[in-house]
């Protein structure tokens, strides 16, 4: 197994600190201590806490996107595509709860910061990738013609809401039980 880079070690330590102490309470020194990096290395790679937040956010969205792309290899139709979008989101959040909490709670802060343009571009690319994957099914008339933002809200909104509650410990239905229910509900709403 390859050794994690210093930059990756710092990001892993930052995520652990943010999860344990919260973003506001976490200091650069805490991240440095947890990662074992020198202060010079930390500043060399990131410069400040806000850049660590942004880099961690982008790394999280890239990890999710890679997870989705791997799952997409098994898509074999419009319904399978919708179920993969929903199921992959549930699976990734279930396997990465700390990262998912971080992504849910820090998006606005990162968007408002100096790396906001980078984040918005990264998110645009992710959604354009999904659009390209669904284009064939739209052209075949298998998916409802809706404005993109409405389509996305109907497709993934209920799942995102459920997962937000799951991350907060406010729901009790196990993920393996709700996964097919949410995937089927999304399909029923977006199919023609």
Q: pLDDT tens digits for 115-155?
A: 888 888 888 999 999 999 999 999 999 999 999 899 999 99
Q: Which CATH superfamily is domain 1-47 in?
A: Homeodomain-like (1.10.10.60)
| Cβ proximity of 175 and 90 under 8 Å | yes
Residue 39 has pLDDT above 70, yes or no: yes
Report the alpha-carbon distance of residue 102 to residue 92 in Å, rounded: 13
Residue 191's pLDDT is 97
Domain ranges of the chain: 1-47, 56-190
Question: Do the domains at 1-47 and 56-190 have one common CATH topology?
Answer: no
Residue 2's pLDDT is 45
Looking at the structure, give the CATH architecture of the domain made up of residues 56-190. Orthogonal Bundle (1.10)
- The helix (run of H) or strand (run of E) holding residue 186 is helix 175-190
Residue 1 has pLDDT above 60, yes or no: no
């Amino acid at each position: 197994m390859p050794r994690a880079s210093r930059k990756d070690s710092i990001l892993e330590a930052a995520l652990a600190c943010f999860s344990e102490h919260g973003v506001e309470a976490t200091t650069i020194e805490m991240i440095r201590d947890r990662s074992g990096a020198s202060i010079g290395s930390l500043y060399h790679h990131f410069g400040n806490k806000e850049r660590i937040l942004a880099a961690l956010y982008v790394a999280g969205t890239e990890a999710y996107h890679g997870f989705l792309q791997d799952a997409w290899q098994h898509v074999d139709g419009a319904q399978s595509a919708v179920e993969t979008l929903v199921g992959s989101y549930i699976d990734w959040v279930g396997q990465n709860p700390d990262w998912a909490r971080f992504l849910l709670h820090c998006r606005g802060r990162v968007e408002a910061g100096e790396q906001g343009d980078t984040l918005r571009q990264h998110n645009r690319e992710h959604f354009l990738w999904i659009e390209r994957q669904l284009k064939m099914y739209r052209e075949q008339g298998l998916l409802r013609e809706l404005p993109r933002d409405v389509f996305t809200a109907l497709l993934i909104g209920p799942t995102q809401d459920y997962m937000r509650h799951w991350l907060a410990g406010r729901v009790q239905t196990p993920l393996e039980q709700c996964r097919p229910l949410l995937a089927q509900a999304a399909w029923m709403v977006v199919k023609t």
